Chain A
C-alpha cells in the first residue's frame, strides 16, 4: 500500500522546504501579540486602530495581486467601495433587526459582491502589459465611482449612504462609541483573512503566482495555467478588498463616494510600497505607519500635514529600496554575513 506511492527523496526535500517556509516565525508572533496589546496600550485611539486594520486589509489585497502575482493595479479602491456599499445597503435594509444586517453576514455580502465583479473584470486584466493593466484597473474604478454617483436612489449619490445600522456582532457585541467592538472585530477579521492569505501564498498556488510574476512566458511554457491562476488571485484579492469595505461601512455606519474614489486605490498602493511589497506584512506595516503619521502630523499642523507626509515618502523611495521590510531584510542579511565571517 505504501511502496507504490512512496515519494522520491527529491519530493520529500521539496516538501520539507515548503513546510519550513510556512512555519510561523518569532517576529510574526510578536507582531500579532502587539496588535492585540494595542487594545490596552491605546484605549483612546481604538477607532484609528480599527481604521488601520481595515486599511491593512486593503493593502494586503493589493499585495496579493501586485506583490505576489505582479499585476499592477490602481483599482482596488473600487472593490473596497463595492464591498462598503453592498454591506451598507444590507445593513440599511436589514434595519438592524433582520439577518441581513448581521455584520458577519454583511462581510460575506460585501466580499461576495466584490468578488463577483472582480471575477468579471479579471479577464480584462489578463490582456496587455503593466501599463495597460494599470489603465484597465483604473478605468474599472472610475466606472464604479460614476455608477455610485449616479445611482442616487440606491446609494444616496454625493451625500453618501445614510442610516447604515448594523446589528450587534454575532448578536452579542453592540458597536460602541469608544470603538472597542469595532477594533476587536476588525482585528479578528484581519487576522483570519491574513492567515488564509498566508497559507495561500505559501502553497504551491502561491509559488506559481510568484513564478508568473518572475517570468510569465517561461511559466506558461512549463505548463502552468497562467490565466486561470491570475483570474483566481484577482478574484480573491477583490474579495479581500470587499470585506475591508464592508468592515469600513459597518464600523463607520455609512458609505460615501469617497470610498470608491481614486485616492483609496492610490493610498493602498502607497502603503504597500511604503511597507514593502511581496511580504504580506508590508501592507500591514505600511498602513500602520502611513495612518499614524497622518494622525500625528495632522494634529501638529492640520493645514500642512500632507507636505510632511510627501517629504517622508520621497525620502523613503530615495534612500530605502523595497520599503521598510526590504530595509529590515537587508539589515538582517548584512548581520548574518557579518556573523558568518567572524
Chain B
C-alpha cells in the first residue's frame, strides 16, 4: 500500500516535471520566419536582408526577454504563390511568432491574408508600395515607401532650377507610387512633368524609353527601378549619352543601389538621388554597421535592403522586450507601434497610426571616396512618414 503510494507520487511528480519541462522548452524558442527571394532576379535583395538580420543577431545575441530567437530562412524565388505557401507552412508547422522579409510588393500582398488569419505579425523588410501595410493589421514596415523616398527628390529638383522632368519607372506598384509622388510634389512646386514613361518590370529593355526621354529634352530625367536592376538601366543611360545632351539624371536611391554602385562606373558621378539609406551615411552607428557587415559578408557592401533586415530584427527584439517575451501576435503588433530607435540609417520609428516606417530621407550625390563610388548625403529631410 505504502509502496504503491510512493510509486504513484513519483509517477505524478515525473509527469508534472515532464509536462513542465516540455512547456518550458516550447516557450523558450521564438521562431522568426523570413521569406526572401534567395534565387532568381531579386536574389540580391534576399542575400542583403538575410545578412542584415544575421548581423543584428550576432551583435545583440540570440536571446531576448528570456527567449531564444531562431531564424528560419525560406526561398520564395520571387514567386508570390510560393511566398504564400511558405508563410502558411511557417505559421502552421513551425509555429513562428513573426513572419518577415518579402522582397517585392506582390510577394508581401500575398502573405497579408495569412498574417491576418493567423494573427502573426509580419515585418516588411523590403517591399515599398505604400498601400501594403494597410492590407493587414499585422503588417509592420521597417524598410521604406516609394512616396517617402521620392517626394524629397521632387522638392530638391524644384528648388535647384529644374523646370521640366520626364519620369521613367518600372511598371508595377512601387514604380507607379514613385511616379505619382514625384509628379504631385514637383508640379505643386511649380515644375512640369513632360511625360511619364513606364518600362515593364520583368526583362526590361530601356533603350526605346531612354531615346524618347532624350527626344523630349527635359531638364532632368527621373528614374526608379527596383533593387538589382539599377546597373543595367544605368549602363543604357550611359550608352545613350543623356548626361552629355544636358539632361540631368536624378532618381530614388534604388537606382544607385550600394550593392551595385561600384560596378556602374564613373559615368554616374554627379547623379543626384534621394533615399533613406546610404552606406556612406555619416554616423558612428553606421560606421560600425558597415565595418561589421563587410567583415561578416566577404566584403559585400550593405545596401538599403540590408538595413531593412537589420532594423526588422531590431523591431522584433524590441517588441519582445516590451511584451516581456509574450508571443501573442496582437500584443506584439501593439508593442511595435511607436517604437523608436537609432538605426545605421539614422533615427527611425514605427508610426503608431499606420504601422509604417517614419525616417529621415537624404538627398545624395554619387561621389568617388577613396577610389570607390558612394552616395554622399548632403541634405536631410527629417522624419518623413511612410504612408498617411
Contact = CB atoms under 8 A, between A and B. Distances in A.
A132 interface: no
B92 A256 contact: no
Interface in A1-59: 44-45, 47-48, 51
B81 A305 contact: no
Interface in A299-319: 299, 302-303, 305-306
Contact of A158 (B46, B118, B172): B172
B324 interface: no
A302 B90 CA distance: 15
Nearest to B37: A302
B80 A254 contact: yes
Interface in A221-257: 248, 252-254, 256-257
A177 interface: yes
B47 interface: yes
A45 B43 CA distance: 25
B171 A158 contact: yes
B93 interface: yes
Contacts of B129: 159
Interface stretch (B71-79, B262-270, B285-293): B71-79
Contact of A306 (B39, B80, B200): B39
Contacts of B85: 47-48, 51, 252
B183 interface: no
A248 B85 CA distance: 11
Contact of B106 (A47, A160, A261, A299): A160
Contact of B110 (A178, A254, A257): A254
A100 B269 CA distance: 56
Interface residues of B, number: 36
A159 B38 contact: no
A158 B106 contact: yes
B84 interface: yes
B173 A159 contact: yes
Contact of A44 (B39, B46, B79, B92): B92
B117 A177 contact: yes
Contacts of A256: 79-81, 106, 110
Contact of B80 (A44, A160, A302, A303): A160
A77 interface: no
A71 to B, nearest CB: 27
A302 B38 contact: yes
Given A303-B39, A306-B39, A258 B81 contact: yes
B340 to A, nearest CB: 31
B113 interface: yes
A158 B177 CA distance: 14
B172 A157 contact: yes
B58 interface: no
Contact of B89 (A48, A248, A252, A258): A48
Interface SS of chain B: helix, strand, loop or mixed? Answer: helix
A276 interface: no
Contacts of B38: 302-303
B74 A298 contact: yes
A153 to B, nearest CB: 13
Contacts of B366: none
Given A159-B173, A177-B114, A302-B73, A44 B89 contact: yes
Query: 5 closest A-B pairs (Cβ-Cβ)?
Result: A158-B172, A302-B75, A158-B201, A44-B93, A160-B106
A63 B166 CA distance: 50
A97 interface: no
B6 interface: no
Interface in B95-128: 105-106, 109-110, 113-114, 117-118
Contacts of A252: 80-81, 84-85, 110
Nearest to A149: B200
A298 B75 contact: yes
B202 interface: yes
Nearest to B113: A253
B151 to A, nearest CB: 22
Contacts of A152: 171
A275 B56 CA distance: 44
B81 A159 contact: no
A162 B75 contact: no
Interface string A163-192: 000000000000001110000000000000
B92 A177 contact: yes
Contacts of B172: 157-159
Interface in B332-385: none
Contacts of B113: 253
Given A159-B173, A257-B202, 15 more contacts: A45-B93, A152-B171, A158-B106, A159-B129, A160-B109, A177-B92, A178-B92, A179-B92, A258-B81, A259-B81, A261-B202, A302-B46, A303-B38, A303-B43, A306-B39
